[in-house]
Amino acid sequence: QVQLVESGGGLVQPGGSLRLSCAASGSIFSINAMGWYRQAPGKQRELVATLTSPGSTVYADSVKGRFTISRDNAKNTVYLQMNSLKPEDTAVYYCNCLASTPGRPSYPYWGQGTQVTVSS
């Protein structure tokens, strides 16, 4: 149906930067929104940032001013530029895509997750 492939995670020192990418593929009629969530050990999954196709953007308060979400519609790809990283940003980051396919109406799909670790 819809496959989401994430990349860009890794280990960085506090104050460093990472850029996450997520590419969607499959028989997609339309993509209504793409975004990023994260989950730290022992905590609930939380919204990081989302971007709808019409252009509305939502950021978690904890990342405002440091993270930027963007998209390339031609490539069905969403990015998350993460600057001034803090240890509390350490988590598994999951890409999310709200898409319509031949078999289903608008439905949320998830990537496999990519580990981001911020530590000295």
Give the per-residue pLDDT at 53. Answer: 79
Per-position b or e across 59-96, b if 16+ CB within 10 A of its CB: beeebeeebebebeeeebbbbbebeebeeebbbbbbbb
Q: What is the pLDDT of residues 46-101, one digit of tens each?
A: 999 999 878 899 999 999 999 999 999 889 999 999 999 999 999 999 999 999 99
pLDDT in tens, 104-118: 999 999 999 999 999
Q: Which pLDDT value is given to residue 36?
A: 98
